[in-house]
């Protein structure tokens, strides 16, 4: 059975789809799996044992100049139309992904499947599917995708009934809906041989797109000092000037054992642009590709992450991870699994606001965004220490999501 997955971006969304692909293998479905994905994430998907073929797409680059990209677009269309698929599944649920799905060819009895209009982010996209499946929206992204696959391929995630006929849906009532499904059944498909030797390093995944998702810089600095005092080395990836400045500020703070100046951090940042800068305990990584970062992540003992794609990628390694959530909802996209904890706060009625920018005045709060005030460095240190010691979650205080 030839299957084509249309999940283009972003990194977190791509990672959230991998457990559903792993389900196909677990349920004994004999599939040749192809996947259309943005070129920036193609190597990560290629590294997955359950994906046979990756077809890169460059929509993010093409839309900067459709005319200049015409030759590439024509070649891409030629490639995706060279094969006839028995099932094309679109877990993205956007017009752009639905249009890509419609451009691909089906076998004689092939089907295009996706969410129904009540379950999908962009309802018009459902018009392009032959089979449209209902999936409750207020669930974790991993759960939603796994439920879509289960209905499309005819099996039940609660180990109950199954159908051997592709495209014959298992009813939505037969699908497990609660968070236990995410925690107990999430496997991403990266084989053990792809995971390197673990070192005593902790990676801080501090960069993210929304201003409201950034943990306060001063908190990162204080946490770094705590982690170093526990005997760990800190790795700091950076992909732009803002992230480099923050990483250098953290390094300077640890160098001064608790005191730093932003001017000093700025001076050091200029020395880091062309390569790695490090002291014995804090290492600022050079500009790296996603694949290179993933290789470094495989050697880390644990992670501390804001809501960012790299944090979701770290989850796939099944290592201790602390997720820091304020403006976004961890019940929908947060880290899952026995080695992961999410720290959040209920101190403000607007949490989670799901907005890119905080409504509060930055000068009126001690820590900004204020939804992170209760997510203190000491609290993060303590929870990470527990995970590193035990490699499992035992929530005895009820302060974790």
Q: What is the DSSP string of 332-370?
A: HH---STTEEEE---SSTTSS---SS-SS-GGG-SSSSG
pLDDT band at 382 (very low <50, low <70, confident <90, very high): very high
pLDDT band at 268 (very low <50, low <70, confident <90, very high): low
Instruction: Give mean pLDDT, residues 100-120.
Output: 97
Instruction: Give mean pLDDT, residues 352-380.
Output: 86
pLDDT at 269: 52
pLDDT band at 159 (very low <50, low <70, confident <90, very high): low
What angle (nearest 5°) sits at the alpha carbon of residue 213, between those of residues 211 and 217?
80
With 70 as the cut, is the pLDDT of residue 40 above it?
yes
pLDDT at 258: 55
| Residue-wise pLDDT tens digits, 205-217 | 999 999 999 999 9
What angle (nearest 5°) sits at the alpha carbon of residue 317, between those of residues 313 and 319?
115
- Sheet architecture: strand order including 282-284: 277-278, 282-284, 233-236, 201-205, 302-306, 321-324, 340-343
pLDDT at 174: 33
| Of 265-269, 325-329, 387-391, minimum mean pLDDT range | 265-269
Q: Which helix (H) or strand (E) holds 2?
A: strand 2-6
pLDDT at 276: 54
Instruction: Give mean pLDDT, residues 78-91.
Output: 97
Instruction: Give mean pLDDT, residues 175-183.
Output: 43
If you average pLDDT over every residue of the chain, what do you get? 86
Quote the percentage of the chain above a pLDDT of 70.
Answer: 83
Rg (CA), the chain: 22
CATH for 195-390, options being 3.40.50.2000, 3.55.10.10, 1.10.260.40, 3.40.640.10: 3.40.50.2000
pLDDT at 64: 94
With 80 as the cut, is the pLDDT of residue 257 above it?
no
pLDDT at 84: 98
With 70 as the cut, is the pLDDT of residue 161 above it?
no
Quote the percentage of the chain above a pLDDT of 90.
Answer: 68
Instruction: Give mean pLDDT, residues 57-77.
Output: 96
Instruction: Give mean pLDDT, residues 63-69.
Output: 95
Q: Under CATH, what is the fold of the domain 2-185?
A: Rossmann fold (3.40.50)
pLDDT at 158: 73
pLDDT at 167: 43
Three-state DSSP state, 58: coil
With 80 as the cut, is the pLDDT of residue 160 above it?
no
With 90 as the cut, is the pLDDT of residue 26 above it?
no
Domain ranges of the chain: 2-185, 195-390
With 80 as the cut, is the pLDDT of residue 34 above it?
yes
Query: Quick check: do 2-185 and 195-390 share a fold?
Result: yes
């Amino acid at each position: 059975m030839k299957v084509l997955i249309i999940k283009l971006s972003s990194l977190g969304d791509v990672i959230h789809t991998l457990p559903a692909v792993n389900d196909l293998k677990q349920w004994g479905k004999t599939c040749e799996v192809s996947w259309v994905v943005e070129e920036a994430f193609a190597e990560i998907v290629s590294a997955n044992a359950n994906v046979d073929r990756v077809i890169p797409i460059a929509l993010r680059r093409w839309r900067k100049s459709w005319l200049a990209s015409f030759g590439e677009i024509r070649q891409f269309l030629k490639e995706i139309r060279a094969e006839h698929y028995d099932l094309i599944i679109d877990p993205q649920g956007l017009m752009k992904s639905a249009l890509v799905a419609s451009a691909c060819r089906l076998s004689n009895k092939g089907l295009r499947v996706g969410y129904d209009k009540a379950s999908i982010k962009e309802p018009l996209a459902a018009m392009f599917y032959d089979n449209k499946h209902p999936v409750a929206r207020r669930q974790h992204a991993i759960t939603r995708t796994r439920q879509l696959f289960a209905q499309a391929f005819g099996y039940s995630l609660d180990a109950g009934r199954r159908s051997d006929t592709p495209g014959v849906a298992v009813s939505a009532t037969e699908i497990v809906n609660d968070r236990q499904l995410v925690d107990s059944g999430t496997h991403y498909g990266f084989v053990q041989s792809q995971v390197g030797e673990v070192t005593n390093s902790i990676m801080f995944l501090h960069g993210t797109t929304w201003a409201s998702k950034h943990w306060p810089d001063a908190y990162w600095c204080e946490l770094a000092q705590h982690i170093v005092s526990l005997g760990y080395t800190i790795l700091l990836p950076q992909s732009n000037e803002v992230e480099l400045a923050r990483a250098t500020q953290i390094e300077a703070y640890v160098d001064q054992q608790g005191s730093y100046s932003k001017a000093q951090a700025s001076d050091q940042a200029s020395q880091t642009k062309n390569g790695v800068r490090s002291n014995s305990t804090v290492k600022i990584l050079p500009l790296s590709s996603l694949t290179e970062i993933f290789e470094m992540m495989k050697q880390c003992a644990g992670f501390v992450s804001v809501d960012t794609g790299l944090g979701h990628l770290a989850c796939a390694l099944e290592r201790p991870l602390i997720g820091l959530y304020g403006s976004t909802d961890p019940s929908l996209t947060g880290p899952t699994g026995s080695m992961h904890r999410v720290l959040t706060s209920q101190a403000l009625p607007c949490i989670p606001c799901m907005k890119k920018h905080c409504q509060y005045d930055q000068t009126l709060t001690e820590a900004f965004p204020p939804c992170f005030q209760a997510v203190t460095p000491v609290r993060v240190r303590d929870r990470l220490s527990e995970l590193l010691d035990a490699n499992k979650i035992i929530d005895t205080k009820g302060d974790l999501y």
